[in-house]
Amino acid sequence: MMKPYLLILLILTGTLPTAQAQTPYQTDSIFIKKIFDEALANGKSYEWLRVLTTQIGGRLSGSEGAAKAVTYT
């Protein structure tokens, strides 16, 4: 799961020329990299995934599991 993100990260950071002024695309790339780094360092996604799949279970619309998932997140 991490490999596609790493590939995207390498592509985004490897295409930033340092000698020229930053274009809007370069600024966007830097911002996206910061979001990506923050999500990896301090994200709660994996913890949420673990709880939703191991403790709450199936979440069919209108089911008890769906209600628990909404309450949890």
Domain ranges, ordered by start, for the chain = 22-72
pTM tops 0.85: no
Tell me: pLDDT of 17 over 60.
no
CA dist 65 and 26 (Å) reads 43
Q: How many CB atoms lie within 10 A of CB 29?
A: 18
Confidence class for position 32, pLDDT limits 50, 70, 90: very high
Q: How many CB atoms lie within 10 A of CB 46?
A: 9
- The three-state secondary structure class of 21 is coil
Long-range contacts of 19-22 (CB under 8 A, 24+ apart): none
